[in-house]
Amino acid sequence: MSTQLSKQELQHLIAKRVAKELKGPCTVNLGIGIPTLVAEYLDDDQVYLHTENGLLGVMDVEEDKIDPNLVNAGKLPVGEAIGSSFFNSADSFAMIRGGHVDVAILGALQVDERGIIANWAVPGKNIMGVGGAMDLLVGAKKVIVTMNHTSKDGQSKILKECTYPITSTRSVDMIITELAVFKVEDKQLKLVELMPGASIEEVREKTEANFIE
């Protein structure tokens, strides 16, 4: 099915699906990668985007208005919405850790069947960066993970157990891939939706983790 779509198109497909989950008023932190694309599909003007490097009120920026000192967590240029505010990194993470951010959209390397994710380190490689991932996982009221269903070599990234170091002991709330949408309920994965063109057989085949259909 989805083999017809390019990698980029699949990422946009995921981002578009995530956007449907975001009903304002709410504050949403967008992680690096696919999550960043979500901004393009938001149509609710009461969804306020938070970036951990110190801005509430992120929006797209036109090429000619790029300011090198106005960026998101991925260091990509952004714009500032009306009603936005700037703050320092301690205040920004106080918002996150303190439970004041409603939703975090994160990428992941692996998810296990309890909804626990690994997204910051790969065994055998130097552990060099964690950024705000651990803070977002303990702090955001709801966490939605976006990821490709399988790795480049076709292995399932939704596993019985993560083989990479976990980011938090907290289960995420939702996983959206190019094939399926899972909710995590009582530490179990529940398939709630097939993405356009995906079949239940394909999801079963490409998902190592147990899940409720």
Partner 1 sequence: MSKIKQQVEDALLCVKSGQTILVGGFGLIGAPLTLIDGLTKKDVKELTIVSNNLGESGKGLGILLNQNKIKKGIGSYFTSNRDVGDKYQKGEIQLELLPQGTLAESLRAGGAGLGGYYTTTGVGTNLANGKEERDIDGVTYLFEKAIRGDVALIRAHKADRLGNLVYYKTARNFNPLMATAAKTVIVEVDEIVEPGQLDPEEIVTPHLYIDSIILAQQILTKEGVVAR
Q: Cβ distance 188 to 211 under 8 Å?
A: yes
Please say which residue, 56 or 174, places its beta carbon nearer to partner 1. Answer: 56
Q: Cβ distance 84 to 55 under 8 Å?
A: yes
Closest alpha carbon to 143 in 61, 28, 66, 55:
28
- Residue 110 is a binding residue for partner 1 (CB under 8 A): no
| Distances, alpha carbon 130 to alpha carbons 92, 120, 141, 166, 181, in Å | 16, 5, 20, 11, 26
Task: Pick out residues in 118-147 that bind partner 1 (CB under 8 A).
Answer: 121, 126-135, 138-139
Number of residues that bind partner 1 (CB under 8 A): 58
Whether 52 is catalytic? yes
The catalytically annotated residue of 40, 52, 113, 202 is 52
Tokens of 120: 């910051």
Interacting residues of 143 by C-beta distance below 8 A, sequence separation 6+: 103, 104, 106, 136, 137, 170, 172, 173, 174
Please say which residue, 48 or 211, places its beta carbon nearer to partner 1. Answer: 48
Rule CB under 8 A: choose which of 10, 11, 48, 157 binds partner 1.
48
Please say which residue, 129 or 154, places its beta carbon nearer to partner 1. Answer: 129
- Residue 112 is a binding residue for partner 1 (CB under 8 A): no
Q: Which spans of this chain sit near partner 1 (rule: CB under 8 A)?
A: 24-25, 27, 46, 48, 50-57, 66-71, 75, 80, 82-90, 92-101, 121, 126-135, 138-139, 165-169
Which residues participate in catalysis according to the annotation? 52
